[in-house]
Amino acid sequence: MITIINDFKTIQIALYLSDLDKKDTSVYRFLLPKLMTSHTDRLDSRMKMSLELENLYGAYFKIRVERFANLSVMSIILTIVDPGIVKDKELLESALSLLKEVLFDHAHFSKDIFDEEKRMLIEQWETLENKKRLFAQTRFYEHFFEGDLYGYPLSGTKNDLEKINLDQMMTYYQDVIKHSPIKVVVNGPIDPHSLTTIKQYLDIDRPCQIPFETKFRDPRPVKVIEEMTSDLQQAIIKLGYHFGIFRHDSLYNAAVILETVLGGYPESRLFKQIREDKGLCYDIGSNYDYYKGVLMIAAGVDQTQVQFAIDEIQKLVAHMIDQGISEDELKHAKAFYTHQIKSSLDSQSVLTKRAFIRDLLHYNESVEERLSEIQKVTTEDVKHALKSLILDTVYVLKGDTV
Amino acid sequence: MIKRVDERFHETVYILKLRNGMQVHILPKEDPYYTTYVELSVPYGAIDLSYRVGNQILKTPYGSAHFFEHKIFAMPDGDAFGKFSMLGVDANAMTSYHQTSYLFTATENVMEALDHLLKMIDTTYFTTENVENEKSIIAEELKMYLDDPNVVLQNRLMENLYHQHPIRYDIGGTLESIMEMTPEILEMMHQTVYQPSNRLITIAGKVDIKVLKAYFKAYDQTHPIKVHKPKIMYPKEFKKPLKRMDVMNLSTNIDKLLIGIKLTPRRLTPRDQIKREMAIAMMLNILLGSSSQAYEKLLEEQLINSSFSIQTTFENKAESIMIYAETKKIKRLKSVLVRLLTEDGYELITKDAFDRYKKAYLGQFVFALNNLENKAYLYGKYHHMGSSLFEVVDLLSDMTFEEVKNSFHEMKKPYMSILINQKA
């Protein structure tokens, strides 16, 4: 168990369940936290679970499934108010008892709730095309991460959902509870007595022995995909770059600065040149995935300006690769990124997740060391990192009536 | 400087009232804490389009507050974002129906960034060229929203609910209205709405009270003029909706149902208005929240999915409820919801549920205080309403079951507008 003690006004109790990311378990892992937190053997309906949470001063579960390179992590986080503020001595123990039930007390899952969850997820798939940005993102990922698990939906496909049955789900749950690596993180105003109580309930850690692997396929000739959809006023552009710089690489901090200068903040080149100077879009930005070693650019542009916008973005990137970045850009990006790291230390949720990831991936670097490493990045390092940037995928979602 | 302490939530507020009318409210957070959050807000938002200054009535196009929010970042020596970035702070701005806020978070250079923020608000640089360029950027922003069928449907529902009130239109205005914007309109807005007497500065997190006090004392001396606040004017609005039933055929893969209910605004004290808003929100949660029988039944009968939502709007002279659902059984859902909201629901509002929700609301309040940005935003919101953030908890404990139960009668069938989107 990892314990973080501070003076936030809430206590977070987080359970992280890790496993190797696999196609055939995606659908189970997506559904399982939903089922576990919607009911238990004692609280056998959604309504009863909601009543219980409301009685705990509106305590809430936050559930998620995420990918970290080759790992899939399910998280179930229960947040309660500081019992001292509401002067309720039983609150912590009631919350711990509920969390334990959510984890272990499922002799069976309700067929009705299982069917409901399936139906709602299937309806989400059926309506995906109506959520244009999410649709474009899903399609872009399918192409950019072709042949890679990152291209496979976290929820599994609609077909996976349709095929899954309650018995299979139950078997998967029992396997997870018996064998899955599990880590508990507790974060908040916790006194020694409360900590003892928490340990009595949740002394359940199981270490993760799965080797962590960051890799991506080799570069390929640029793949261009243009798709049409109805009722679209603004085209969505996505560009995927092969980068090959990962979290553990020596050029990692240079890559972070590079991405910040390119499209990571309002002073970035994409924001200033494509949005502010050329007025081609409202939203534009970049994103660096350091577990996959890729960099992505996304923008929404006027339908009639699609090719012009793509050309301008490519020119901007090519110019950056050729000329590098200025000392001023480096200084500003470092200041901005340093601020992001420091301010994130004031977020309880970030601290909880960071503690888990550091434990999972065995990162020992302190925040001060990290900040110091960022300060050491030079324009030459960034230029070096820029040489690894190779355009790989261009995806455009357009309206069918331009 | 006034100091107020709230023992229950371990919060302290320092209040500075400047001679020029500007107020500064500081909510410090003890070490170890890295971030300072600064928000400058004016009680002027998207629905504030007409105002009286002296004998003059000034009118601005839909989307003016939002347009102004974008353009005030333009400075004679470049975009204000540049300097914020150079200082390593994260700046942003947002416009709601009733308020416009300019904010930044900083872990270094707080005073320099604060000074830059005030300079930005005090300096106008509106040119024909930069206003024209902004029109194309905002047009892309509006188009981005219009690509979401739910936004299109919500906009239509508001147009059907309201005859004249500016809430009929999106906060950003329309693709047509933004084209009416000129440097002169923006300049006039600055002179009337953005003067110090209209501004509230909320600072939360890591602060140095002495340095802040000295800074604002100096600012007050260099900006001594107190300008009277303009009187905002709203058109007279009918109680009943403009259109009670409407059908659209946007290309979606599932039918959608939106129910809008117009509420009748009342002349109340700020405290009573906040209580009224809480009572209505609580009543709706008891009726249709995740712990309600009705919600469970709707799921069981496969009438709704995870997109089901309830939203309340309480703005000047415009108050409403909106219920949104995606469904494969639209006729049945419509009939169940209309009956529940206007007839059957009253008996489902029980004292047990009320007591439970009071506890849950207290919890939600504490959750909000845990996040610096939420805390500062809510602090500003309740200040502009004429109340204070910490008073809200007292109002919650004063709330009676009868107040919540009786608020059910605010929902009347003739005040309801229904919008259906039949999938293509």
Q: What is the pLDDT of residues A111-151, one digit of tens each?
A: 999 999 999 999 999 999 989 999 999 999 999 999 999 99
User: Considering chain B, what is the average pLDDT of its residues?
Assistant: 94
Let me know whether A185 and A285 are in one domain: no
Which of A343, A397, A401 to mutate to probe the B interface, most B CBs <10 Å? A343
Residues 82-111 in A contacting B (C-alpha not used; CB under 8 Å): 82, 85-86
How far off is chain A from B190, nearest CA to CA, in Å? 22
What is the biggest distance separating any 2 CA atoms in chain B, rounded to whole angstroms?
67
In a domain, A212, yes or no: no
B370 touches chain A (CB under 8 A): yes
How far off is chain B from A245, nearest CA to CA, in Å? 25
Please compute Rg for chain B using Cα positions. 23
In a domain, A284, yes or no: yes
So what's the pLDDT on residue B342? 93
So what's the pLDDT on residue B14? 96
CB A220 within 8 A of CB A388: no
In a domain, A218, yes or no: no
A51 touches chain B (CB under 8 A): yes
pLDDT tier at A85 (50, 70, 90 boundaries)?
A: very high
So what's the pLDDT on residue B308? 97
Residue B424: pLDDT above 80? no
- Condensed to tens digits (0 to 9), the pLDDT of residues A40-53 reads 999 999 999 999 99
B140 touches chain A (CB under 8 A): yes
Residue A401: pLDDT above 70? no
Residue A394: pLDDT above 70? yes
Alpha helices in B314-371 (DSSP H): 330-342, 351-369
Query: Which residues constitute the domain of residue A8?
Result: 2-201
CB contact under 8 A, B299 and A343: no
> What tokens does A272 get?
């200033």
In a domain, A26, yes or no: yes
B37 touches chain A (CB under 8 A): no
CB A300 within 8 A of CB A132: no
Let me know whether A66 and A197 are in one domain: yes
Let me know whether A291 and A346 are in one domain: yes
Catalytic entry in B11, B30, B39, B69: B69
Let me know whether A231 and A193 are in one domain: no
- The last residue of one of the domains, among A133, A168, A201, is A201
Active site residue B326: no
B9, exposed or middle or buried, with CB in 10 Å at 0-12, 13-18, 19+? middle
Let me know whether A233 and A164 are in one domain: no
Let me know whether A239 and A132 are in one domain: no
Let me know whether A75 and A188 are in one domain: yes
Q: Among positive and negative, which fits the CA dihedral A274, A280, A283, A284? A: negative
Let me know whether A352 and A268 are in one domain: yes
- Contact list in B for residue A283 (CB cut-off 8 A) is 140-141, 144
Let me know whether A57 and A190 are in one domain: yes
- Condensed to tens digits (0 to 9), the pLDDT of residues A269-307 reads 999 999 988 888 889 999 999 999 999 999 999 889 999
In a domain, A215, yes or no: no
- Contact list in B for residue A79 (CB cut-off 8 A) is 367
How far off is chain B from A6, nearest CA to CA, in Å? 9
Q: What type of residue sits at position B192?
A: T
CB contact under 8 A, B86 and A335: yes
Report ipTM (2 d.p.): 0.89
Tally of domains within chain A? 2
CATH number, domain of A35, equals: 3.30.830.10
What is the three-state SS of chain A? CEEEECCCCEEEEEEEEEEECCHHHHHHHHHHHHHHHHCCCCCCCHHHHHHHHHHCCCCEEEEEEEEECCEEEEEEEEEEECHHHHCCCCHHHHHHHHHHHHHHCCCCCCHHHHHHHHHHHHHHHHCHHHCHHHHHHHHHHHHHCCCCHHHCCCCCCHHHHHHCCHHHHHHHHHHHHHHCCEEEEEEECCCHHHHHHHHHHHCCCECCCCCCCCCCCCCCCCEEEEEEECCCCEEEEEEEEECCCCCCCCCHHHHHHHHHHHHHCCCCHHHHHHHHHCCCEEEEEEEEECCCCEEEEEEEEEHHHHHHHHHHHHHHHHHHHHHCCCHHHHHHHHHHHHHHHHHHCCCHHHHHHHHHHHHHCCCCCCHHHHHHHHHCCCHHHHHHHHCCCEEEEEEEEEECCC
Residue B99: pLDDT above 80? yes
In a domain, A210, yes or no: no
Let me know whether A238 and A358 are in one domain: yes
Q: What type of residue sits at position B214?
A: A
Structure letter (DSSP) for residue B18: -
User: Considering chain A, what is the average pLDDT of its residues?
Assistant: 95
The rounded percent of chain B whose pLDDT value lies above 90 is 83
Residue B205, C-beta contacts closer than 8 angstroms, at least 6 positions apart: A346, B27, B28, B29, B33, B35, B36, B37, B372
Name the residue among B148, B328, B363 with its Cβ closest to that of A57: B363
Residue B338: pLDDT above 60? yes
- Condensed to tens digits (0 to 9), the pLDDT of residues B259-314 reads 999 999 999 999 999 999 999 999 999 999 999 999 999 999 999 999 999 999 99
Q: Which of B353, B30, B360, B301 is nearest to A116 (CA)?
A: B301
CB contact under 8 A, B356 and A55: yes
In a domain, A209, yes or no: no
Average pLDDT for residues B109-116, to the nearest whole number?
97
Which of A10, A77, A123 to mutate to probe the B interface, most B CBs <10 Å? A123
Name the residue among B33, B86, B144 with its Cβ closest to that of A346: B33
Q: Among positive and negative, which fits the CA dihedral B261, B265, B270, B276? A: negative
Let me know whether A118 and A252 are in one domain: no
CB contact under 8 A, B205 and A346: yes
CB contact under 8 A, A58 and B33: no
* Secondary structure element (H or E) that encloses residue B11, with its range: strand B11-17
B390 touches chain A (CB under 8 A): no
* Secondary structure element (H or E) that encloses residue B318, with its range: strand B318-327
Please compute Rg for chain A using Cα positions. 23
In a domain, A217, yes or no: no
Name the residue among A81, A130, A133 with its Cβ closest to that of B252: A130
CB A185 within 8 A of CB A14: yes
B173 φψ region: left (φ > 0), alpha (ψ -120 to 50), beta (else)? left
Let me know whether A107 and A251 are in one domain: no
| Interface A:B, Cβ pairs < 8 A | 185
